[in-house]
A and B are shown apart, each in its own frame.
Chain A
Amino acid sequence: MADVSLRKVIKRYDDVEAVRGIDLDISDHEFIVLVGPSGCGKSTTLRMIAGLEDITDGDIMIGGDVVNDVPPKDRDIAMVFQNYALYPHMTVAENMSFGLRLKHYPKAEIKARVTEAARLLDITDLIDRKPKQLSGGQRQRVAMGRAIVRNPKVFLFDEPLSNLDAKLRVQMRIEIKKVHQKVRTTTVYVTHDQVEAMTLADRVVVMNKGRIEQIGTPNELYHKPATRFVAGFIGSPAMNFIPCRLEDVGGALQIRLTDRIAFALPPARATRYNALPRTDKLLLGLRPEHLTESHAHLGPGVETFDTVLDVTEPMGMETLVYFGLDGTPVCGRVDPNAGAKDGAPMRLAMDLNNMHLLNEDTGVVL
């Protein structure tokens, strides 16, 4: 087990810069998830840590040693691939023990380690089967088993759940978390699924266009996003971005969303945003759960307004409502019993205590 550090790591393919100078410190035992849309450089970063891609510039350190020129086999890492990459001609046990056999471990130890890993992953019965005879979830377990038996310094996961169906994905997600709680190996996990990132990670690294947008715990990213990209990427349904501007009305600061709708900001927010030039083009960032039905006991900072719903989506435990504010589509989450109907008028409440204010041009959360 070891910590992993990336120092100004750059990856360039001919004229395309896939990774544009990444700095990242992963401490021992930590579960880090790299998340971002496809083409953001997350898989390339993982493959550079694995040694499967050369780095163009910068340094990668594992356990304090620079490994830029160390081949994958000498980095003491294990990797789980998206399509599992199991050797089709070998049984489960042979797949899992392949790395150990190449390193000439004693037979008894190999057997012990394979048995232990199989027990941990609940695949003891499958040990003599070939990959072809396994389901997707079972193959995934074997791929993890192959990583575990090596007892490496670092686990690398490259979108390991994206080939599974939705239900199995949730199940395996929990499985991966349990395994990490048991073996505590430093883990770098790549996914494009923000739910996976949020549920698995100690810290999430959000990447976009070859750069790191923000690093933080799932809660930090959710509640204190640094940029519009992070704010929009983390959370489902995504955060609403409503064009707005600040106004001074009778010494108080208010936020105007449309000609009709303007709200006074709660005192804490007013103090925070008071210094902003009133001419800036701004966006109000508000998560759907902070746009709810209006009920009797509204706290301070919660403002109500009337709108006409376009579409409603009953989800069971909640109903998603979609409506427009001056042409900007907005999503809210209301109680399923609040009587939301397609095309019907509804009074909604906006919780401005949880608002974010973004600069529309720079995308920075203010």
Chain B
Amino acid sequence: MADVVVEHGRVARTASAHKRTGLHNALKRKSTVAFFLTLPLILLIALFVLYPALFSIHLATLNKSMQKFVGFGNFTFLFKRETFWMVVKQSCIFAVTAVFFKALIGFIVAHFVHNIPAKGQRKWRGMLLVPWVIPPAMSTLAWLWLFDPSYSAFNYTLSFFGIGPINWLGDAAWARFSVILVNVWYGAPFFLIMYLAALKSVPDQLYEAAAIDGANWWQKIWYVTLPMMRNIIAITTLFSLIVTFANFDIVRILTSGGPLDQTQIFATYAFRVGIESNDIPLGASVSLFMVPILAVAAIFILRDVNKRGNES
């Protein structure tokens, strides 16, 4: 009899405890807590990324006066325009060339800085970061003066060697070169700092082991440094590719896309057709066209990062 009473009491207690702790248990689950902790960020992203993205997709399906739904009409219109394909080509050339040289210069300079004794290194790191920390709109103005065809420092210096004057921003080839040069100057410090961090994380003993194994400096870079930095290289390249692809300020200030749209890239072209020519849906369509190109690049670059991340 006593047994039954005890049993009865326990069952009742457990049931009420269950009810009371339903929320408590949910909070105890790690995934729930994680969700609530990230909720503010999720809301921010939804508000500032998701909403504008969806809205621009919506915009891209409207006609110029934004009154009528035209489906893929804007895109079919763009695909027939020679200028648009030129912009696609130029954006790709611009982004790929600029990212390549940013990465190359960043890699080389990172090695130099890495080999400076720790004492003087901070000073050099600080100085080399300057291009990256100046607002690009300001620094590009300085470049604009340097590129001036008549009284610029560049042409003045070149005149001593009997070269020039070069029409830096007026000639299509030179204008493309100049735009890429300024972008490389602005973006290389980002690679420098990322590569420097990656270099510092490679254990010295790997280089010593390689030295004893008979590797020369080039083989050390090829067989030790590069494989050890592969993930950082992949991620910085992708990140920079996205940012460079969407670059606006440098091209806008230096050439405004000219001469004859020959330095026009996605962002400046979208601005030209969307804002300056008052066809916002067409501008939205231009900028949306970046998405598939970058998505392909992202898949291509990131495909091994996860696997490699597990091995080192």
Contact = CB atoms under 8 A, between A and B. Distances in A.
Interface of A: 50-52, 71-73, 77-79, 81-83, 85-90, 98-99, 102-103, 130, 132, 146, 150
Contacts of B224: 87
Given A52-B208, A81-B208, A98-B223, A89 B311 contact: yes
Interface stretch (B99-107, B212-220, B252-260): B212-220
B203 interface: yes
Interface residues of B, number: 22
Contacts of A77: 212
B312 interface: yes
A79 B212 contact: yes
A78 B212 contact: yes
29 contacts: A52-B208, A52-B211, A52-B212, A72-B208, A73-B214, A73-B215, A78-B212, A79-B209, A79-B212, A83-B203, A85-B206, A85-B209, A87-B206, A87-B210, A87-B223, A88-B311, A89-B227, A89-B230, A89-B311, A89-B312, A90-B227, A99-B214, A102-B214, A102-B219, A103-B214, A130-B311, A132-B310, A132-B311, A150-B213
Instruction: Give the secondary structure class of A's interface.
Output: loop
Interface string B189-216: 0000000000000010110111111111
Contacts, number: 68
B312 A132 contact: yes
Contacts of A88: 228, 311-312
A10 to B, nearest CB: 22
Interface string B163-202: 0000000000000000000000000000000000000000
Given A87-B206, A102-B215, A146-B209, 5 more contacts: A81-B209, A85-B206, A88-B312, A99-B213, A102-B219
Interface string B216-259: 10010001100110100000000000000000000000000000
Contacts of B205: 81-83, 85
A85 B219 CA distance: 16
Given A98-B223, A132-B311, A132-B312, A89 B211 contact: no
Closest 4 CB pairs of A and B: A99-B213, A85-B205, A73-B214, A85-B209
B312 A72 contact: no
Nearest to A130: B311
Nearest to A52: B208
A52 B211 CA distance: 8
Nearest to B202: A88
A89 B212 contact: no
B41 to A, nearest CB: 32
Contacts of A98: 210, 213, 223
Contacts of A89: 227-228, 230, 308, 311-312
Point out which of B212, B214, B223 has the most chain A C-beta atoms below 10 A from its C-beta: B212
A76 B228 CA distance: 26
Contacts of A72: 208, 211-212
A51 B216 CA distance: 14
A90 B210 CA distance: 13
A73 B311 contact: no
A51 B211 CA distance: 9
Contacts of B310: 132
A102 B214 CA distance: 7
A73 B213 contact: yes
Contact of A102 (B213, B228, B311): B213
A50 B212 contact: yes
A73 B210 CA distance: 9
Contacts of B230: 89
B207 to A, nearest CB: 9
B197 to A, nearest CB: 17
B208 A85 contact: yes
A73 B312 contact: no
A134 to B, nearest CB: 12
A71 B211 contact: yes
Contacts of B209: 79, 81, 85-87, 146
Nearest to B211: A72
Contacts of A99: 212-214
Contacts of A132: 310-312
